[in-house]
Structure 1
Amino acid sequence: MSSTTGTSGAFFRVAQSESGSWSFIDPDDKPFISLALNHLDDTDLRYPHNVEVFERKYGSRQAWTKGVVRDLQDLNFNTIGWTSQYVSGGWGEALDWFGDPVDLGHSHPWPDQHLLDAGMPYVVQIRVQEIEDWNGHPAYRDVYGEDFHKYADWLARRMVSDHKGSPNLVGYFLVDIPGWLPHASGRFWPGFEGLSQAEHDQKLFDVATQYYRTITEAIRRYDPDHLILGDRYNGNKGIPEAVLRAMVPFVDVLSVQYFTGKSDEEYATMIEDLRGWHELTGKPVVIADIGNWVPTDMNPHRTSDMDTQAERGADYASGLARAVAEPWIIGWHWCGYIENLGRGWGIKTPQDEFYTDMTDQIREANAKGQATATQRI
C-alpha cells in the first residue's frame, strides 16, 4: 500500500495501492468494497395495509432488525446503509432541487444499540446542520458562532460515544445531500447577497472550511479511530468546487448520491462526473445513494425508463459492475428496502417479500462485486 487513511488495524480504514487502486480495509486487514442497502426502517411495515405482516413475522423492532440482517446477508450485501426512510408522502412525479421547495419528512435512524447488535459493518449519520435539499425548512446556522461550536461538540460527543470502540463501524456520514448550491427554499448562509462570483466562491470556501473543521475536530476529539465519510453530496444537482476543496483536509472519503437511468450514456455521465470530483479531491468515492424504480400495483405513478423488476435487476447488475470497474470507487449503497407509500420503491414488496426477479440478480451481482475487492490491494 502506498498510502493509508485511518489508524490501527482494529478499525476500518482506506488505502491506495502502488498501482493506484483504492479500497476500504477491514479490521482483519482485508480489502473491502462497501455494498450497502439504504433506507432500512420498520415504518415501511407499519402502515394500515401491512402492519399485520409486521406483527405476525416480527412483533418487535429488535426482531425486525434481525430480519433485515438476514436479508442483507442473503443478498450478499456487506454493510448496513443509511437507516432512515422518506415517510411523509406526496413526492409527486419527480423532484426539482432548483424549483419549488420540497419537504420530504424522514424517519429517525436506528437506535445505536440496534446497529451495535447487528453483527455486521454499518455506518452512522451525524446531522451537522438541517440543510438537506429535501428539507423544505432548512436552517443555515452561523458556522463561526459559539453556539455552533458548542452544538457540534455535543453532537459529536453524543453520536460517537456508543460507536467509538466498534470494529463494525465503517465510518460517519455527515449531512444527506446538503444544500451547498442554492436551496429550493431560497435560504442560505448569511452574507452572500450581492457578491461577485469570485467573492461568492471565496466566502463559500471559507464557510465550508469552518463547517468541516468544526465538526471533524469534534468527532476526532472523541473518536480518533474511525473514518469520516463526509456529506452525502447531491451529484445530480452538482457540487461546488469551493466546497470540495474545503472538504479535502478533513474528510477521508468522497460520498456522492447519484441517480441515473439505464442507458450507457447516462452511466457514462455519472462516472465522468464522479471521476472529475475524485481527481479534484484525491479521495476514493462511495456512491452513497443510487437506485431505480418501476411502476407497481401500489405506486403506478413511479415511472422510469424500465418497466419490470427483471429490468431493475439487470440494471443493478450492470451498474454495479460499471462502478467497481473503476479502481477509485469503493462503495455502492442502494436505495431502498421495502416499498412504501412515500418513496414508492424498494427491493421488497409492501408485504415484505422479495421482488425475486430483481433480487436474484442482486445476489449474484453483489457476490461478483465483493470478489473484486481482493484485486484492489
Structure 2
Amino acid sequence: MNRTFEATGYFRLERENERWWLVDPKGNQFVTIGVNHADETNLKYDHNFDIWKTKYGSRENWIKGLSEDLKSWGFNTIGWTGDYISGDWGVALDWFGDPINLGHSQSWSAADYKHADMPYCLQIRVSEFEDWNGHPVYPDVFSHEFEMYCDYLARSICADHANSKNLIGYFLVDIPAWIRHASGSDFKQLEGLNEQERSSKLYEVAAKYYETITASIRKYDTNHLILGDRFNGNKGIPEEVLKAMKPYVDVLSVQYFTSPDEAGYQQMKEDLARWQAIADKPVVIADIGNWCKTHMNPNRVSDIHDQAGRADDYIASLNTVLHEPWFLGWHWCAHLENKARGWGIKDPYDEPYADFVDPVKDFNKGVYQKIEDRVKF
C-alpha cells in the first residue's frame, strides 16, 4: 500500500486526477474487501451447535475467531451482518417472482464491533420496503412522523459509533424496491400513477427520503461516510433515484450477482459505470457472491460446479472492475454456509472450503499492488 493522504482519524474519500480513493483513519489508501452475513447462529443449528460450544463457547470468542478468519483470508471489512435465516436446505432466493418474506438475523451491537476490532459498516434500516420483504412498508417521507422516526434511528445507532475509528459508514435499506415491488405496494404519493407519471414523481419522493435520513445521521455523526441504499443492481436502479441521492449520499452501493462468464462480468461493469456517471459517486459492490452444490445442500446448483470454480468466478468478476477509477471495493456473500442461504466461505461445520479460500486469499492480498501497477502517479 504505497499511496498516502492526510490522516484525519476517520475513513473518508479523496478524488485525485479523476480517481476515487477510500482513505483509512491513518491516511492510507484503503480498498474495502469485506464479508457479509456473519452471524453466530449459523453455528447453532442441531448439526453444528456442538462445534460452537467446543470451539468458541461465547459470542466474544466467536467474533474474535471471525476476525482472525477474515484477516487470514485477506478480507479487511465486516460488511452488512444481517443474514437470511428463514429458509431451509434447497430453498432458493428469488426477488423477481411472487412476493416473498425472507427473515433476517439481528444486526451486531456496538460492543460486538469493539470485540472484532476491524473496519466495519453499519446499516440503518430507514424503512421496510426491501425487494426481499414479502410485506413491505413504504413510509410517507413527507410526514412529520417520518422525520421523527429518522431522528430516532440516528440517535439510537449513530451516537454509539460517532467516534469509532473503525466505522467506514452507514448503509441504508438493503435492496429497496424503488422499482415497483412484486407485491404491488408502493409509496403513497406514487400509487395509481402510470409509469410516466410515477417516474416524474419518484425524484421528489426519493429526494425527501434521502434529505431526511441523512440530516438525521449528520445531526449525531459528522465523522463517517453515508454509503446509501444497497441497490439491487440485477433489477436496475431508476435514474431519478440516483439523481435524488446525489446531494446527500457519499457512495453508490450496489448489490450485483453476475452470471459466471465474460458477458456477465462486462454487463456488471457497464451497468455500474452507467449508474456511477449519473450519481457521480464512487462505487462499492455492497453484496456479490456465487454458489455451487454442496454436500449439505445438493439442490443449490448453478453454472459453477465446484469450489474451485467459485474461486475462479470471484477473481474474474472482480478483476473486471478492479481498475475502474470509481471502484472502492466489494463485500462478499457470505461467511458460513447456513440452511437458509445455502453457501459460504466455510462449510456448515466451520471448515473453510480450501479450493475456494486459497486462490481468493492470494487474490485479496495482491489487490493493492494490482491497483498501483495500473494507476499513474
1:14: which partner in 2? 13
What letter is aligned with 1:256?
A: V
1:182: which partner in 2? 180
Counterpart CA distance in 2 for 1:117 and 1:338 is 19
Superposed, 1:28-177 pairs within 5 Å as 28-90=26-88, 94-177=92-175
**Structure 2 contact 36–332 (Cα < 8 Å) conserved:** yes
Counterpart CA distance in 2 for 1:197 and 1:313 is 41
1:225: which partner in 2? 223
1:251: which partner in 2? 249
1:275: which partner in 2? 273
Cα 1:373–1:109 change in 2 (3 A) is farther
2:286: which partner in 1? 288
Residues 246-266 of structure 1, C-alpha deviations (whole Å, 9 max, x = no match)? 000000000000001210001
Shift of 1:225: 1.4
Residues 186-208 of structure 1, C-alpha deviations (whole Å, 9 max, x = no match)? 11111323434443122110110
Partner secondary structure for residue 106 of structure 2: coil
Partner secondary structure for residue 341 of structure 1: coil
**Structure 2 contact 63–115 (Cα < 8 Å) conserved:** no
Counterpart CA distance in 2 for 1:175 and 1:137 is 15
Shift of 1:231: 0.2
Shift of 1:320: 2.1
Q: Give the one of 22, 25, 37 matched to 1:24.
A: 22
Cα 1:209–1:91 change in 2 (3 A) is farther
1:335: which partner in 2? 333
Measured on the aligned residues, the alpha-carbon RMSD in Å equals 1.6
Counterpart CA distance in 1 for 2:372 and 2:25 is 15
Q: Which runs of 5+ in 2 are unaligned?
A: 1-5
**Structure 2 contact 90–298 (Cα < 8 Å) conserved:** no
For normalisation by structure 2, the TM-score amounts to 0.95
**Structure 1 contact 102–134 (Cα < 8 Å) conserved:** yes
Aligned-pair identity (%): 52
Shift of 1:135: 0.8
Residues 170-195 of structure 1, C-alpha deviations (whole Å, 9 max, x = no match)? 10000100010111121111132343
Q: Give the one of 292, 297, 301 matched to 1:299.
A: 297
Residues 1-52 of structure 1, C-alpha deviations (whole Å, 9 max, x = no match)? xxxxxx971111111111x211101111111110000000011100000000
Q: Which runs of 5+ in 1 are unaligned?
A: 1-6
Counterpart CA distance in 2 for 1:185 and 1:196 is 17
Partner secondary structure for residue 284 of structure 2: strand
What letter is aligned with 1:218?
A: S
Counterpart CA distance in 2 for 1:217 and 1:143 is 13
Partner secondary structure for residue 316 of structure 1: helix
1:321: which partner in 2? 319
Counterpart CA distance in 1 for 2:92 and 2:120 is 30
1:264: which partner in 2? 262
2:367: which partner in 1? 369
Shift of 1:111: 1.3
Counterpart CA distance in 2 for 1:84 and 1:57 is 23
Residues 276-307 of structure 1, C-alpha deviations (whole Å, 9 max, x = no match)? 00111110100000000000111111111111
**Structure 1 contact 317–365 (Cα < 8 Å) conserved:** yes
Provide runs of 4+ in structure 1 moved above 6 Å.
Answer: none
What letter is aligned with 2:352?
A: F
Partner secondary structure for residue 312 of structure 1: helix
Answering whether residue 192 of structure 2 is matched by residue 209 of structure 1, we say: no
What letter is aligned with 1:14?
A: L
Cα 1:92–1:250 change in 2 (3 A) is farther
Counterpart CA distance in 1 for 2:91 and 2:267 is 23
Shift of 1:95: 4.0
For normalisation by structure 1, the TM-score amounts to 0.95
Counterpart CA distance in 1 for 2:193 and 2:338 is 44
What letter is aligned with 2:74?
A: N
Moved more, 160-169 or 321-330: 321-330
What letter is aligned with 1:305?
A: D
